[in-house]
């Protein structure tokens, strides 16, 4: 870092998908941003413009930020001493009972304690247990420093678009000065700003993720009921979603919900409630229902497969928890693959985006190779590539012409023309 570098408007600690997106988007909005990570190799690579995650539009923003020098990367905390606002975008891994490990935040606070500028503002963006703001203030032990909660609502794969066009910005602050300073960083974004106390801000984040996960568990339950009763979930969700009190977003049934946030946050909220001696049966049930849904998908595969599961050869398309990301953490696809393998099936997985080495099964480089001699094809992630495959070729390669498409992504007309039997969760099958 050259000594002549201007004081940044904001320093971002951590360059994971939240930190890097936040840093690049603030630079895009015209703020001077410095991003810190203790991973020296990653920082060197970012300074060369190499973005290590798959996130639409992010590489272009990082390149722009580096070119305009609005975005700088460093591996030294000493470079951020003049930042008026410091945002913590650090990992908060969970333990098996849902509690979060705040070690990285505590370590950062210990470092920041002696480095922060007078009157600096420290913001948590990572999802942290309710009450962390108070704990962080204690770790910082800097009465002149304000601590603020400004949770992120970024979806992986669309994080840049979500940052720049949010439904709302939530700022939980103990002082008006701190709230205004953080709100000013978002100047240029057209969205309502909800200013509240830190505890409520922390709760908003958990409530949003848990509510969405609960909505999906409900929809998946309705799809199971359609399987049982013969209804069509697409008609049910169309009718359900047109009630404006319910809304039509997040009503797509699938193999179950997953990713690095929903499972962790639903468990985290339940854990938090238990430690406060409060019972949250709806939240607990959302999680249990999702596990049951994975079992239901596996039972359906077992029913549809012409061979007993123990002898079956299965082609699987999709390993990431959703399309547009390389992330397989807590992916329902991997939960299902694991269950199938434990049942004795031989599984070959193709995923166009998953990080190498993250799929614990045989993998194929293209969708067709996965299908060679398979007893059926199971689609578990909604990659757009799967909508445009040559289904005649797929029909020729499969040992039996059966597809179970848990994401409704495969082209219905082409499947029929290719003589394939197409099955979906909660919908009557298409059998030519």
Catalytic residue positions, numbered? 261
Nearer to ligand UGA, 66 or 212 (CB): 212
120's tokens: 């600096």
Q: With respect to ligand UGA, which residue has the nearer C-beta, 80 or 333?
A: 333
Tell me the closest approach of the beta carbon of residue 72 to ligand UGA, in angstroms.
25
Segment near ligand UGA (CB under 6 A), from 7-15, 38-46, 147-155, 282-290? 147-155
Asked if 154 interacts with ligand UGA (CB under 6 A), we say yes
- The Cβ-side half-sphere exposure at 47, using a 13 Å CA radius, reads 15
d(CA 236, CA 250): 13
Q: Is 127 in the site for ligand UGA (CB under 6 A)?
A: yes
CB of 427 to ligand UGA, least distance (A): 15
Any contact of residue 322 with ligand UGA (CB under 6 A)? yes
- Rounded CA-CA distance 122/133 in Å is 10
Window 328-367: residues binding ligand UGA (CB under 6 A) = 332
Nearer to ligand UGA, 77 or 404 (CB): 404
CA-based angle 170:329:223, to the nearest 5?
85
Single residue of 321, 383, 386, 404 touching ligand UGA by CB under 6 A: 321
Question: Residue 34's beta-bridge partner residues?
Answer: 11, 72
Name the 3-class secondary structure at 253.
Answer: coil
CA nearest neighbour of 419 among 391, 382, 378: 391
Considering only residues 207 through 246, tell me which ones interact with ligand UGA, judged by CB under 6 A.
209, 212, 216
Calculate the dihedral angle through the C-alpha atoms of 367, 337, 357, 99, rounding to the nearest 10 degrees: 140
Task: Please state the closest distance from residue 69 (CB atom) to ligand UGA, in A.
Answer: 29
- Do the Cβ atoms of 105 and 137 come closer than 8 Å? no
**For residues 139 and 163, which CB has a smaller minimum distance to ligand UGA in the complex?**
163
Measured in degrees and rounded to the nearest 5, phi and psi for residue 248 equal -95, 5
Q: Does 206 engage in binding with ligand UGA (CB under 6 A)?
A: no
The distance of closest approach from Cβ of residue 410 to ligand UGA in the complex, given in angstroms and rounded to an integer, is: 16
Residue 121 or 261: the one with the smaller Cβ distance to ligand UGA is: 261
CB of 212 or CB of 418, closer to ligand UGA: 212
User: Which 34-73 positions form the footprint of ligand UGA (CB under 6 A)?
Assistant: none
Residue with tokens 């830190």: 198
Give CA–CA dist 176/314, Å, rounded. Answer: 58
Structure-derived torsion over alpha carbons of residues 51, 53, 59, 62, reported in degrees to the nearest 10: -60
Smallest distance, ligand UGA to C-beta of residue 262, A: 5
- For residue 268, the minimal CB distance to ligand UGA (Å) is 10
Binding segment for ligand UGA among 72-80, 134-142, 146-154, 367-375 (CB under 6 A)? 146-154
| Site for ligand UGA contains 156 (CB under 6 A) | yes
With contact defined as beta carbons under 8 Å apart, do 259 and 328 qualify?
no
- CA 54/CA 407 separation, integer angstroms: 21
- The residues in 246-305 that bind ligand UGA, with binding defined as CB under 6 A, are 250-252, 254, 257-259, 261-262
Radius of gyration of the chain (CA): 24
Locate 254 and state its tokens: 């699938």
Residues near ligand UGA (CB under 6 A) are 127, 152-156, 209, 212, 216, 250-252, 254, 257-259, 261-262, 321-322, 332
């Amino acid at each position: 870092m050259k000594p002549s570098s201007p004081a940044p408007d904001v320093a971002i600690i951590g360059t994971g998908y939240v930190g890097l997106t936040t840093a690049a988007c603030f630079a895009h909005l015209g703020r001077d941003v410095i991003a810190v990570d203790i991973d020296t190799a990653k920082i060197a690579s970012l300074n060369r413009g190499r973005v290590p995650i798959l996130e639409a539009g992010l590489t272009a923003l990082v390149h722009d930020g580096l070119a305009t020098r609005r975005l700088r990367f460093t591996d030294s905390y000493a470079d951020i001493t003049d930042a008026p606002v410091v945002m913590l975008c650090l990992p908060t891994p969970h333990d098996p009972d849902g509690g979060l490990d705040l070690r990285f935040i505590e370590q950062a606070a210990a470092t920041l304690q002696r480095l922060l500028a007078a009157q600096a503002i420290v913001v948590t963006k990572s999802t942290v247990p309710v009450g962390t703001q108070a704990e962080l203030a204690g770790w910082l032990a800097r009465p002149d420093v304000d601590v603020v909660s400004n949770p992120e609502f970024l979806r992986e794969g669309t994080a840049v678009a979500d940052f720049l066009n949010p439904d709302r910005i939530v700022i939980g602050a103990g002082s008006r000065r701190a709230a205004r300073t953080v709100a000013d960083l978002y100047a240029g974004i057209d969205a309502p700003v909800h200013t509240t106390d830190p505890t409520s801000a922390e709760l908003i984040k958990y409530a949003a993720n848990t509510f969405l996960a609960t909505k999906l568990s409900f929809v998946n339950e309705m799809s199971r009921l359609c399987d049982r009763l013969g209804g069509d979930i697409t008609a049910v969700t169309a009718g359900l979603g047109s009630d404006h009190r319910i809304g039509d977003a997040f009503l797509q049934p699938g193999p179950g919900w997953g990713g690095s946030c929903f499972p962790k946050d639903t468990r985290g909220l339940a854990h938090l409630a238990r430690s406060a001696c409060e019972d949250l049966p709806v939240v607990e049930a959302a999680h249990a229902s999702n596990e049951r849904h994975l079992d239901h998908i596996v039972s359906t595969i077992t029913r549809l497969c012409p061979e007993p599961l123990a002898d079956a050869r299965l082609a699987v398309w999709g390993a990431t928890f959703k399309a547009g990301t390389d992330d397989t953490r807590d992916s329902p696809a991997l939960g299902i693959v694991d269950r199938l393998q434990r049942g004795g099936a031989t599984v070959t997985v193709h995923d166009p985006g998953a990080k190498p080495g993250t799929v614990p099964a045989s993998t194929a480089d293209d969708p067709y190779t996965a299908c060679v001699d398979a007893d059926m094809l199971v689609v578990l992630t909604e990659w757009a590539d799967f909508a445009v495959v040559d289904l005649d070729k797929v029909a020729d390669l499969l040992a039996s012409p059966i597809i179970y498409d848990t994401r409704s992504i495969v082209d219905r007309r082409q499947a029929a023309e290719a003589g394939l039997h197409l099955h979906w969760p909660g919908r009557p099958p298409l059998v030519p």
